[in-house]
Structures are given as C-alpha cells and as structure tokens.
Homo-oligomer: A and B are copies of this chain.
Amino acid sequence: MNPWETSLTLIDQAETYSCVMPDEPRWLTDHERDAWLALAKLMFNLPSALDAQLLRDNHLTLFDYFVLSGLSMAPGRTMRLSDLASHLSCSLSRLSNVVKRLEQRGLLRRAPDPESPRYTVATLTDAGWELVVAAAPGHVAAVRQYVIDGLTASQIDVLREVACHVAQQISEAPEASPRPR
C-alpha cells in the first residue's frame, strides 16, 4: 500500500532483537512514521519530477537552473564561486564541474575576481539570462502543480516552518566524519 512503509516498520521485528542494540532506541510512533514515510517519498520523487520538466523543456537540470538563477539575481549578474557554493549549500567541487559545463554551453563566463585574484567569479551571459527567463514560467508552473496548488494558506505556512526546522537541524549537526571502510 504505502510504498515507503519499507523504511522503518522493520522496527516491530527489530525490537525482538534488543539484545544486539546498545541502548533501546526511541522508535517512531505510527503517527511519526506515516509523516516520515510520506516525506521520504517526496524527497525521492520531487527532484526527479522537477528535473524532468526542466530537462524536457529547457535542457537544464534543477541544479543548473539554481546556479543560473542565483547569478541572474546577483549585482552585475556576477558572483564568486565560493559565495555561490555556500548560497546553494553545495560542495565547491560540484559547483566547479557544473560551472565548467555551463561555460562550455556559453551560458556564463568565468574570470579571476578583479578585486582579489585568488577568487574566481562567474558572470551570466546574455544567452544565460535569456535561458533563465525562458525557463522560469515552466518551472514555476511545475512547482505550483506538484507542491503549491491545492494546499491551504495554513498548510503552506506549516510546510515552511517544518522545512526551515529540518534545514536548521541539518546545518547544526556535527559534520559527518566519514569512517574508513
């Protein structure tokens, strides 16, 4: 029935194995589990749905769109890569790769920051600007279709509260320190 009940209902069985657990964990209640499974499903499917629309109509991934859109709003349509990366909460490595591809397509240009040569700035070209302007209506329509339309104002309000809460929890979490395998 629910495609994501896979995630945690294992718990009922796992409880019989409490011998192997360090401390008895605080399992999710049914109420909490339903919400989490629904959110998990959203988390997996919404990005690909939005990607699909942008790829089909504008040959852009959602992340490409965020990069171009971020530049389009910056003064002079220009930003340092490090600022853009923290703006987008992504690694500099990922941004560098994406920016290189977008530059090859003529949508932006890279240049050393004239104010300090150790930075690199990216500037949206006219072609890049026109592409974002052309892509925006379809993207907004998809966001409305999948997310916004059909919700009440108060649901939208709670959605914002919850999403901000999650974002904050993640940003405050101790940095995940990978353990050698």
> Which residues from chain A sit less than 8 Å from chain B, CB to CB?
3-11, 13-14, 17, 20-22, 25-28, 31-32, 34-36, 38-47, 49, 52-53, 55-57, 59, 65-66, 69-70, 72-73, 86-90, 130, 132-134, 136-137, 139-141, 143-148, 150-151, 153-167, 169-170, 173, 176-179, 181
When all copies of this chain in the complex are counted, the total is: 2
Q: Offer 9 A-B interface pairs, CB within 8 angstroms, sorted by A.
A: A9-B73, A14-B136, A17-B133, A25-B140, A35-B148, A35-B157, A41-B163, A44-B90, A146-B173
A170, B49: Cβ atoms under 8 Å?
A: yes
Q: Which residues of B contact A59 (CB under 8 A)?
A: 181
Closest partner residue, chain B, to A12 (CB atom): B73
B11, A167: Cβ atoms under 8 Å?
A: no
Known contacts: A136-B11, A151-B162. The answer to whether A31 contacts B169 by CB under 8 A is no
A159, B39: Cβ atoms under 8 Å?
A: yes
Q: Which residues of B contact A145 (CB under 8 A)?
A: 169, 173
Give Cα A116–Cα B63 distance, bound, in whole angstroms: 43
Given A14-B132, A150-B169, 7 other A-B residues pairs in contact with their CB atoms under 8 A: A6-B66, A8-B143, A22-B137, A28-B144, A41-B167, A57-B179, A150-B165
